[in-house]
Amino acid sequence: MFPDDTDALGRFEFLATLIAIGNEPAVRAGDTNSLIAHIASRRSHLLVLADCLGLYAGLSSALFSARLDAFIGATAEHDSHFKPENLNLLLSLQCGNPMPPFQFLQSGQLDKQMVFLPAWQSTFHLVHAALRGRARRRMSGATLATPPGFSTLRHCLTDVLLDFTGVELAADQAALDFIFFTKDATMEAQSACALVAKEVRAALGA
């Protein structure tokens, strides 16, 4: 496991929180059981996305699904995760500005338009981390399967994040950023990053 893999798994887990937040009535009511049920209702879509991300990163999709199940189990035991102050902090962290946390949720109301930003940032960093992990495996000489086209990745993200239309396009931005990022790679990493960038260009067109 590389640090990039840890980042990708953490960002994937955060998608479950975004799914829960999409159930605005349950967020306003502070109904943890309904929020967890809302996540569970999209578990099949999350697992399809896990398969897709696993192919991009060169990781077993079981790592993503295990992270998801552990998160659901932990939040079911400790409902503090969905308290407004915790959600505001988590969402602010995704934007890189944790202190003071932006009030995405305040007085029982959710600013859904503003939640789009952390949703976009989280999706961007999820895909970017997966691509960095793939480059690290290329450096180690690993044989990796050809990743699916970005149209497939976008479709998976759309199914998961139904409440945040347009967030799936963050995947394309992450891909373009990675392609430019290869120019700044170390000498040791340049050939591996260039190979992954070539794969990403092909995937973007597929």
Q: Which residues in the chain show pLDDT less than 70?
A: 184-185, 187-188, 206
> Which pLDDT does position 206 carry in this prediction?
58
> Which pLDDT does position 78 carry in this prediction?
78
Could you tell me the CA-to-CA distances from 114 to 21, 22, 120, 197 in Å, in that order? 12, 12, 10, 32
φ and ψ at residue 106, rounded to 5 degrees: -150, 135
> Which pLDDT does position 184 carry in this prediction?
65
> Which pLDDT does position 1 carry in this prediction?
78
Going 57 to 59 to 61 to 62, the CA torsion angle's sign is negative
> Which pLDDT does position 23 carry in this prediction?
86
What ranges do the domains of the chain cover? Answer: 3-204
Question: Which contiguous run of DSSP H or E holds residue 106?
Answer: strand 105-106
> Which pLDDT does position 26 carry in this prediction?
86
Q: Round to whole Å and give the CA distance between 176 and 21.
A: 28
> Which pLDDT does position 76 carry in this prediction?
83
**pTM recorded for the entire structure:** 0.92
35-89 pLDDT, tens per residue? 999 999 999 999 999 999 999 999 999 999 999 999 999 988 877 888 888 999 9
Tell me the Ramachandran region of residue 143: left when phi exceeds 0, alpha when psi lies from -120 to 50, beta otherwise: beta
Closest CA relative to residue 10, chosen from 161, 102, 155, 122: 122
43-56 pLDDT, tens per residue? 999 999 999 999 99
The DSSP output letter for 25 is: H
Do residues 5 and 146 touch, judged by C-beta distance below 8 A?
Answer: no
Torsion of CA 99, 64, 57, 151, to 10 degrees: -90
